[in-house]
Structures are given as C-alpha cells and as structure tokens.
Structure 1
Amino acid sequence: MRIVTWNVEWFTNLFDARGRLLEDEDWSSRYKVTRRQQIESIAIVLTAIDPDAVMIIEAPDNNRRRQTVPMLERFAARFDLRCRRALLGFENDTQQEIALLYDPDVLSVHHDPKGGGEGETPRFDQSYLIDLDVDGTADRVVFSKPPLEVQAETRDGKRLRLIGAHLKTKAPHGATTPEQAQRIAIANRRKQLAECIWLRSRVMEHLKAGDSLLVMGDLNDGPGLDEYEKLFGRSGVEIVLGWDEPRETRLYDPHARIAYSKKTGVTPMTARFYLDTEKRYFSALLDYIMVSPDLRALKPAWRIWHPFDDPDCYQVPELREALLMASDHFPVSIDLPI
C-alpha cells in the first residue's frame, strides 16, 4: 500500500468562486507558471506516483460558496485518477485545508477526531492549555489548521490511524523594529512547539491503545531551519517523534533520523524555495511520514519524489518538470507491505 503526503502550493487558486477548475493560460499563484500548467503538473505527478491515498496539505479552501471535497473529486475525475474520493476534517480559515484523497476500492475511511473526554487530550478543534512563556500562567492554544484524523481500513481488514498535520510558524507581521520582530517570532515559535506537544500527546494515546499510526504532513520545522532552534532546545519534529523517549513510544521517519543524527553532512530535502534577496534557491526538510513501531517493523520503504535528488524522477523529463511546476514542496511516499 502506498500512502503519500504532499503540500500543493495554492491549490485553492486553481478553482473559481464556484469550485470549477480553471484550466486557462492566466498565471497561477506560482511564479511564471500558468494555471493550466500547474493543474496538469499536479495530475502528472499523482498519476506517476499512483498512490492508494494522499494527504493533501494546502487543499482547496472550504467555505460557504464552494467545498473542498467536490473540488478534489472533480479534479480526480478530470484526470481519471485512481484516488478519486476525498475526505475533509475540521475546516479552517487560512484557505489551506488538510484533506485526504483516496482510492475507495482499496480503503474505507472516515474522519474520526479523538479527545475531549475526561483525562484525554483536547480535540484538535478545541483549545490546549500550556505555559508557553514559563510565567506560571497557562496560555490557551488553538490550531490555526486543526490536524485531520482518519480512521482507515483496508480490504483485508487492516486498520490504520492517519493524522495529517500542517504546523506553521507565522512571519512576524506587524513588527516595526527588529526587537518587535524578534519578540513576535519567538512567540510564534512557542505556539508552534505547543501545537507539536499537543499532537505528541495524541500520538501517545494512540500508541498506548496499540493503534497502527502514521503522522504525516508539513511540520514546517527541521534542523537549522531558523535561529531559534538552539533557544528552545528541541525542534517540533523531535517532540512529535518522541526523539528521546523509549523506543516503544517513538515514531520513526528515516529522513528525520538522517537529518537529526548529525553523523553526516547530508540532509534529505522535501521543499525548494526561491529567495529573492539571495537570488538563489533554498532547500529544506519540512515534510514527513512518521510511523508507529509496529509499522516500522514491517520495513516499509520511504521516498521523496525530488526532481533532482531522486534519479528516477530526474531521468523522466516530463515528471521532473511537473514536480517543479506543481508545488514548492515535493511528495513523500511510504510503501507498506499490507
């Protein structure tokens, strides 16, 4: 079974106000890429990967005028994709939903949010109390993009828990001085780490219940990503993984293991951004598929569909160009022998 996570940049802007696909020559929200080019590129990539399910990060916006699920299913039908059914959890107000596109012949799925009961971690659409600034007073944290919790079952009856997440540190908007920018940036970083702690708490509940768990998506965090990494001691990725905890309570992602082991100077990359100030591209490891110990024991295969770092992607010009046009993130897949 192949499961994928992919952050598709500004997928929402490829549909009009009524949810119709905009296959035209106007510019998309990607630099010098038309809407038709981005739409066709997304389809080429998904066809090449041929997943059983894909967690779409930055899925089309769900609102009163148009809905995420019909838009994704309309897209899948247009290109005859095997993943032709969509699932949405809690919507958000950022124009970037988290949704699952899946093959209904292979998986049955439903949105299954946990938490909120006595002694349980709060539901992801609720709030979480944590002392962010160590002043002895609990701060109330809410997700700007509540993670999508999926209960999935294969045709053979294997049950999986999937959590799709997009944890994002906001830029210091509104700052007028370097000091203000630093204060806002640190506060935003604290909030992101609090969201990671919240997510980790849910992970622990699933591990204690013996669930087969995959946590996937864009954590927008990684080694050396910003100057505040040393200030906080641990990254959000390490928190969600349970990096320093006993093996039986750790999640595993091989790309994170390579990046954080510091045994080599090599780090896998899942995203590529152009920095106008530097006139060059910057690469980062932002996207992960973390699995529970029982799934790790099956020896699954992970892959980053990188147009330059993956030889098979590079050697197919149509796929290479499609990966570059479709998004500033590249898909990450896991092949599970189930």
Structure 2
Amino acid sequence: MRIACYNVEWFDRLFDDEGQLQRDTCWSGRRGVKRADQAKALGHVFQRIDADAIMVIEAPDDHQHRSGTRALENFAKAYDLRSSKALIGFTNTTQQEIALLYDPTKLTATHDPIGALGDPVPPFNETYQIDLDIDNRADSVRFSKPPLELAIETAAGNNLRMIGAHLKSKAPHGAHNAAEVMRFSIANRRKQLAQAVWLRARVEEHLDAGEALMVLGDLNDGPGLDEYENLFGRSSVEIILGEIGCPCLYDPHAARALARKIGGEPTTSRFFLKKDNRYLQALLDYIMVSDDFRYKAKTWRIWHPFDDPECWEDLKLRDALLTASDHFPVTLDLDF
C-alpha cells in the first residue's frame, strides 16, 4: 500500500464555486503559472505517484458555497485517478483545507475526531489551554487549520489511525521593521510550538492505547530551520516525534536532518525569494509513523525533481513537479 502527503500550492484557485476544474489561461495561485498548466502538471504528478491514499495539504476550500470534496473528486475524475474519494474533517477559514483523497476499493476512511470539550486534550476544533511563556497563566491556543483525524480500515482488514496536519507558518506577515519582524516571529513560533505540543498530546493518547498511527503533513518547521528555534530549544518536528524514552514516531528524513549539524539534508519544498532573487529549499513535509508501520515500511520517498534520480531523468515528470506546486510529494510504501 502506498500512502502520500502532498502540499498543493493554492489548489483552491483551480476550481469554480461548483467545484469544476478551470483549465484555462488565467493565472493560478502559483507564481508565473496558468491554471491549465498547473492542473495538467498536478494530474501527471498524481497519476505517477499512484497512491492508495493522499493527504492533500492546501486542499480546495470547503464552506457553505464551495465543496472541497466535490472539487477533489472532480479532479480525480478528470485525470482518471483510482484515488477518487475525498474526505474533509473540520473546515477552516483559510481557503486551504486538509483532505484525504483515497482509493475506496483499497480502504475506508472515517473522520473520527478524538476528545470532548473540557478534556485535558480537547478536539482540534476547540481551544487548548497552555502556559506559553511560563508566567503561571494559561494561554488559549487554536488551530487555524484543525488537523484531520481519521480512522482507516484497509481492504485486508488492517486498522490504523491517521492524522493530517498543517501547522501555522512562522512568517512575520505584517511586520514593518526589524523589531516587528523579531516580535512577530517569536510570537508565531510560540503559537506553533503550542500547536505541536497539543498534537503530540493526541499522539501519546494513541500510542498509549497501542494504536497504529501515522501523522502526515506540512509542519512548516524542521530542525535548524531558523534562528528562533534556539530560543525555544526544539522544533515542532522534534516535539511531535517525541523524546527518547517515550513512545516515539519515526520519519527517516527527519531523523537524518536531526543527526546533522552541517552538510546536506533531505528537502521537500522549493520557494522563490524575490528579495534575494534565489530559491530556498527546506524540509517541511513528513510522514511520521509508529513502530507498527516502521517495520512494515519498504520505502520512504521524496519526489524531488533534482534529488530523486528517476524524477530528474524523466523530463515530463520533472517539469510537472516544478509546475504543480512549491512542495513535492512524499510517499511511504507499506507491506501489510
């Protein structure tokens, strides 16, 4: 079975209010990319990864007047994808949902949020109380994009839990000077780490219950990604993976990055920095698994157009990956 995680930059901009795919010459949400070109590139990438289930980050918007699931299912139909069924959990107001697109002949998926109002670890669409600045006063934290909690049963009868996550970016939007950049960045990191602590608390509930668990998504963070990590001691990735001595999750790309203080490391995204006129690459996307999956895993793969030999040598795939999104898919092949 192949599981994938893929952040699709502004997927929502490719659909109208009826969920119909807009393959025209209007600009997409991608820099310098027309909607028809992004849609075609995405169709090719989804076909090539050919996953049984894809956790789609920045999935099409879902609210009273737009259906993200209808948009994704129309996309799957347009490109004849066997992963043709879509599921969205708690919606948000960012126009970037978290969704699962899956093959209904290979598995069933149910939105199954854990926790109740008033619990120490509340549902992800509620508020979490945590002392962020050690002043003996609880701060209220909310997810701008509540994680998607799923109960999965494969056609072979395997049961597992899956959590899709997209943690808040630390970018200091709205800052007008260096002092504001620092203040906004620190505040955003505090909030992001609080979200990571909340997510880790849910992870521990599943691991303590002996459940097979997978956490997939864009954590907008990674070991050594910025200077503010030193201020707080740990990245969101390290918090969610867990500390030695506790039940831990595993992702080989995160493990490799954490083991290095200098030198190359895996990357899953590529952003253009207009100010510097160059591209920045970063490890932001993960498929973290409990021990149940770690020893069933055959291959973790980042479909990077420059780092993966097959992607590099296949010119059509390489160009599609670069056109489709500023992130690249991550896949995990499991032998059940």
TM-score by length of 1: 0.97
CA offsets 1:79-107 (integer angstroms, 9 cap, x no match): 11010000000000001000000000000
Provide the C-alpha distance between the structure 2 equivalents of 1:197 and 1:20, rounded to a whole number of angstroms: 38
Task: Tell me what 2:240 maps to.
Answer: 240
Aligned partners of 2:164 and 2:217 also within 8 Å: yes
Structure 2 residue 292 is the aligned partner of structure 1 residue 294: yes
Provide the C-alpha distance between the structure 2 equivalents of 1:287 and 1:301, rounded to a whole number of angstroms: 16
Provide the C-alpha distance between the structure 2 equivalents of 1:52 and 1:250, rounded to a whole number of angstroms: 25
- Deviation, 1:180, is 2.5
CA offsets 1:194-225 (integer angstroms, 9 cap, x no match): 00000000000000111110000000001222
Which residue identity does 2:180 align to in structure 1? Q
Provide the C-alpha distance between the structure 1 equivalents of 2:71 and 2:159, rounded to a whole number of angstroms: 27
CA offsets 1:234-255 (integer angstroms, 9 cap, x no match): 000000000x2326x0100000
Aligned length: 336
Task: Tell me what 2:93 maps to.
Answer: 93
CA offsets 1:289-308 (integer angstroms, 9 cap, x no match): 00001211224310000001
Provide the C-alpha distance between the structure 2 equivalents of 1:271 and 1:172, rounded to a whole number of angstroms: 19
Task: Tell me what 2:251 maps to.
Answer: 253
Which residue identity does 1:8 align to in structure 2? V
Percentage of identical aligned residues:
57
- 1:106-117 counterparts in 2 under 5 A? 106-116=106-116
TM-score by length of 2: 0.97
Task: Tell me what 1:281 maps to.
Answer: 279
Provide the C-alpha distance between the structure 2 equivalents of 1:309 and 1:177, rounded to a whole number of angstroms: 37
Provide the C-alpha distance between the structure 2 equivalents of 1:264 and 1:107, rounded to a whole number of angstroms: 41
Shifted more, 24-33 versus 319-328: the winner is: 24-33
- 1:30-179 counterparts in 2 under 5 A? 30-116=30-116, 120-179=120-179
Say which SS state the counterpart of residue 324 (structure 1) adopts.
helix
Aligned partners of 2:297 and 2:333 also within 8 Å: no
Structure 2: unaligned runs, 5 residues or longer: none
Say which SS state the counterpart of residue 17 (structure 2) adopts.
coil
- 1:298-337 counterparts in 2 under 5 A? 298-337=296-335
Say which SS state the counterpart of residue 267 (structure 2) adopts.
coil
CA offsets 1:13-60 (integer angstroms, 9 cap, x no match): 001233221111112111221101100111100101100000000000
Say which SS state the counterpart of residue 91 (structure 1) adopts.
coil
- Deviation, 1:113, is 0.3
Provide the C-alpha distance between the structure 1 equivalents of 2:177 and 2:274, rounded to a whole number of angstroms: 22
Say which SS state the counterpart of residue 216 (structure 1) adopts.
strand
CA offsets 1:123-164 (integer angstroms, 9 cap, x no match): 000110001122111000000000000111011110111100
Provide the C-alpha distance between the structure 1 equivalents of 2:294 and 2:162, rounded to a whole number of angstroms: 15
Say which SS state the counterpart of residue 300 (structure 1) adopts.
strand
Which residue identity does 1:245 align to in structure 2? I
Which residue identity does 2:315 align to in structure 1? P
Task: Tell me what 1:21 maps to.
Answer: 21
- Deviation, 1:62, is 0.8
Provide the C-alpha distance between the structure 2 equivalents of 1:128 and 1:196, rounded to a whole number of angstroms: 11
Provide the C-alpha distance between the structure 1 equivalents of 2:295 and 2:120, rounded to a whole number of angstroms: 28
Shifted more, 233-242 versus 26-35: the winner is: 26-35
Provide the C-alpha distance between the structure 1 equivalents of 2:38 and 2:56, rounded to a whole number of angstroms: 15
- Deviation, 1:275, is 0.8
- Deviation, 1:263, is 6.5
Say which SS state the counterpart of residue 151 (structure 2) adopts.
strand
